[in-house]
């Protein structure tokens, strides 16, 4: 049972701002907030707390942002006037506290075992990762529309990789009339690409074809757009990297070659913070339902 039906939303970007309001308004929970001091207006029924310790002590579920930290010492809280120490969060939690966050590290799991609180990484949830592909794909297409003098309709698009994001991106591009080619290593993925009506290319064959595309979208989180591959790309082609660090593009080489590249990280929070807040909210409630 969630203690006092109370959540503590600590730090984060506009996704967490909307998440706090959604929980308070739509589901009748008590919502406490910390780390939103600068130029941020919270929903009227969200209560601001003076410290993370105060919020954690009162809450049954603590929601940290995605990612939960940038420096490993403080909560990722870009709208806080002063840093929010992670130790303040851990120290105020007890066995009745469920702490959730995005991209939690092994160090945090060790801390949870020592302090005795429950811990869940909502970024590891399949439903969140799947639904996050929607704003990611839309954001990538928005970038392409803004950066290129041609329409998506009729554009020759290469999607590198065929994971969750690539699947949604291929679908959306095709719906807009693009000529979609997807490349992958696994033959099963290549079979699915063909079955869904896209052109399929094994990733080892990139050298021979990559120069024919108007837009290249990378979703593979490993540097596969090396100098040898980049050298074959046309100067008027746009390269959009959607992969998390280290990314999939040798950006230094791409710059020397005069290629136009965009490393589009964390698109859900940038292009659709309200939708992203809904996705996180629904995921958190799914976690609570499973926890009983």
pLDDT tens-place string over residues 234-244 = 999 999 999 98
**Distances from the Cα of 235 to the Cα of 55, 229, 259, 261, angstroms:** 53, 13, 6, 11
3-124 and 130-269: identical CATH topology: yes
pLDDT at 81: 92
Task: Report pLDDT for 26.
Answer: 75
Q: Give me the CATH topology for the region 130-269.
A: Rossmann fold (3.40.50)
Residues 162-185, mean pLDDT to the nearest whole number? 98
Please, which pLDDT band fits residue 94 given cuts at 50, 70 and 90?
Answer: very high
> Among 183-187, 243-247, 284-288, where is mean pLDDT lowest?
243-247
Q: How far apart are CA 213 and CA 14, in angstroms?
A: 35
Q: What is the pLDDT of residue 24?
A: 93
CA distances from 263 to 35, 160, 195 (A): 28, 14, 30
Residue written as tokens 């840093």? 83
Summary mean pLDDT of the chain? 94
The dihedral sign for the CA sequence 102, 120, 42, 87 = negative
pLDDT at res. 207: 84
Q: Label residue 66 by pLDDT band (50, 70, 90).
A: very high
Residues 107-155 pLDDT 10s: 999 999 999 999 999 999 999 999 999 999 999 999 999 999 999 999 9
Q: What are the residue boundaries of the structural domains of the chain, listed by start?
A: 3-124, 130-269
> What percentage of residues in the chain have a pLDDT greater than 90?
91
State the angle between helix axes of 126-147 and 164-175 in degrees (0 to 180), rounded to the nearest 10: 40
Write the burial class of residue 106 (CB in 10 Å: 0-12 exposed, 13-18 middle, 19+ buried): exposed
Residue 291 pLDDT exceeds 90: no
CATH code of domain 3-124: 3.40.50.720
Residue 3, pLDDT > 70, answer no
Residue count of the chain? 292
d(CA 242, CA 256): 21
Query: 30 falls in which pLDDT band (50, 70, 90)?
Result: very high
Q: The whole model's pTM is what?
A: 0.91
What's the pLDDT at 39? 78
What is the structure's pLDDT at 208?
82
């Amino acid at each position: 049972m969630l203690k006092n039906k109370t959540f503590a939303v600590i730090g984060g970007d506009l996704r967490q701002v909307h998440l706090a309001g959604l929980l308070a308004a739509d589901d009748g929970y008590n919502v406490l907030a910390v780390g939103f001091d600068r130029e941020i207006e919270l929903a009227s029924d969200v209560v601001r707390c003076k410290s993370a310790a105060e919020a954690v002590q009162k809450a049954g579920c603590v929601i940290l942002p995605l990612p939960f930290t940038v420096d490993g010492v403080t909560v990722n809280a870009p709208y806080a006037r002063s840093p929010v120490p992670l130790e303040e969060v851990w120290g105020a939690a007890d066995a009745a506290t469920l702490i959730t966050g995005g991209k939690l590290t092994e160090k945090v799991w060790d801390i949870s075992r020592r302090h005795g609180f429950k811990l869940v990484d909502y970024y590891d949830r399949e439903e969140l990762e799947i639904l996050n592909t929607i704003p990611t794909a839309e954001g990538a297409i928005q970038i392409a529309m803004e950066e290129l003098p041609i329409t998506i309709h009729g554009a020759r698009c290469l999607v590198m990789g065929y994971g969750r994001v690539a699947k949604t991106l291929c679908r959306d591009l095709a719906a807009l009339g693009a000529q979609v080619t997807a490349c992958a290593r696994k033959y099963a993925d290549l079979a699915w690409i063909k079955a869904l009506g896209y052109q399929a290319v094994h990733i080892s064959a990139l050298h021979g074809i990559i120069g024919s595309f108007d837009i290249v979208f990378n979703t593979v989180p490993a540097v596969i757009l090396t100098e040898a591959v980049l050298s074959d790309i046309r100067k008027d082609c746009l390269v959009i990297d959607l992969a998390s660090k280290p990314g999939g593009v040798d950006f230094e080489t791409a710059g020397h070659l005069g290629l136009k590249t965009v490393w589009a990280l964390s698109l859900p929070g940038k292009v659709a913070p309200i939708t992203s807040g809904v996705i996180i909210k629904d995921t958190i409630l799914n976690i609570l339902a499973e926890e009983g």
